[in-house]
Amino acid sequence: MDTPRFPNVTTLIVAAAMIVLPFVVPATLASQIAIFATAALSVTLLLGGAGLLSFGQGLYLGIGAYASGLLLRDAGFALLPTLLVATAGTAAVAAVLGAVMVRRQGIYFVMLTLAFAQMGYFAMLAAKDVTGGENGLSGLPRRFDLFGATIASPLSFYVLSAGVFGLAFLAVQRLLASPFGSVLTAIRENEGRSEAMGYNVRLYKIAVIAVAGGIAGLAGSLHAVFLGFVPPTDVDLEVGQRMLVMSIIGGVGSPGGALVGSAFYTLVSEALSELWARWMALIALVLIALVLFLPGGLWSAGRHLTGLLRRRDADG
């Protein structure tokens, strides 16, 4: 993953895209793109930043969603405290689980992420008196006040989702451009050498897992607010797989890829789901093509195109 100066051209492109997005697609669809782009950022940080492949990020999204639902419905929390508490609580859970997972590397680490994700799903079903089980958590408020503004319309929900994504995006960019991000890059490239240089590799891994978990929990919190209820699928293993696919399609080499991947996946599913029941086959074909011919994802296509144009100008 590149760790350029912050802010940079990517920051401007993403900001411009978020401004234009609600004028190109309906506000509700734009909100979904922003929410899952936030979720995909957690995978980008883990996989692109530290080289940690996780299929369990959906667990943290689900924890954030259920925590927010309970805080809003039963505890009477306002919107901002709900988002903050859900994010911090999910980050704490991710840190605890991360302390266990980093004891293993490679495929064993991946298997632990799968195991914890599956345990979380069955725990949600078992605690049906709290979570609602297969019926989900309903009865959440649909109208919020934030800094004097009322959030109730589709456009206002998009402004909230886009603002949260923007803050998460800037945080990930800054983190990757910091000395902490440089250490993560060193761990990704050669973990043994990083440890030999004196870095506490396990501690750095736990830290990045906690941050990524918090970001996923923030996305889950937004999703609960957006839907007005918490579906049981929010903590399903499929959600974690969807977040991973979005990140790979967009490109884990840059945080901007999270937005591209989320937009592509969401728009394709929206356009094709009612026309073709097997629309996921198209996503699979795109994923195969990207892995084989454009491993940097769709975000890297612009960089490749720019490089080709510069070489052509130089030859000319």
What pLDDT, on the 0 to 100 scale, is given for residue 3? Answer: 46
Nearest 5°: the CA angle 165, 240, 163 is 5
Phi, psi torsion values for 78, nearest 5 degrees: -80, 175
**8 Å CB contact between 62 and 220:** yes
What pLDDT, on the 0 to 100 scale, is given for residue 311? Answer: 66
Task: For residue 35, give Cα distances in angstroms to 18, 30, 78, 113.
Answer: 12, 9, 19, 22
What pLDDT, on the 0 to 100 scale, is given for residue 263? Answer: 94
User: What domain range includes position 247?
Assistant: 9-315
What pLDDT, on the 0 to 100 scale, is given for residue 5? Answer: 60
Split into its structural domains, the chain has a count of 1
Does the N-terminal peptide bond of residue 7 adopt cis geometry, omega within 30 degrees of 0?
A: yes
Exposed/middle/buried for residue 196 (C-beta within 10 Å: 0-12, 13-18, 19+)? exposed
N residues, the chain = 316
Q: Is residue 87 part of a domain?
A: yes
Q: Is residue 272 part of a domain?
A: yes
Q: Is residue 2 part of a domain?
A: no
What pLDDT, on the 0 to 100 scale, is given for residue 313? Answer: 58
Q: Is residue 63 part of a domain?
A: yes
230 bridge partner residues? 137
Distance CA 197, CA 205 (A): 16
307 Cβ neighbours under 8 A, 6+ residues apart = none
261 Cβ neighbours under 8 A, 6+ residues apart = 37, 40, 245, 246, 247, 248, 249, 250, 251, 297, 298
Q: Is residue 74 part of a domain?
A: yes
Distance CA 55, CA 62 (A): 13
What pLDDT, on the 0 to 100 scale, is given for residue 306? Answer: 62
Q: Is residue 47 part of a domain?
A: yes
Question: What CATH number does residue 119 fall under?
Answer: 1.10.3470
**8 Å CB contact between 205 and 102:** yes
What pLDDT, on the 0 to 100 scale, is given for residue 179? Answer: 92
What pLDDT, on the 0 to 100 scale, is given for residue 284? Answer: 85
The alpha carbon of 96 is separated from its chain's Cα centroid by a whole number of angstroms, namely 19
Query: How would you write the pLDDT of the chain (316 residues) with one tens digit per residue?
Result: 544 566 788 899 999 999 999 999 999 999 999 999 999 999 999 999 999 999 999 999 999 999 999 999 988 899 999 999 999 999 999 999 999 999 999 899 999 999 999 999 999 999 988 998 888 898 898 888 888 888 989 999 999 999 999 999 999 999 999 999 999 999 999 988 999 988 999 999 999 999 999 999 999 999 999 999 999 989 988 899 999 999 999 988 889 999 999 999 999 888 877 777 777 888 888 888 888 888 888 888 876 666 665 666 566 5
Q: Is residue 171 part of a domain?
A: yes
Q: Is residue 56 part of a domain?
A: yes
Q: Which residue has the tokens 């603002």?
A: 163
Q: Which residue has the tokens 């506490």?
A: 200
* pTM of the model as a whole: 0.92
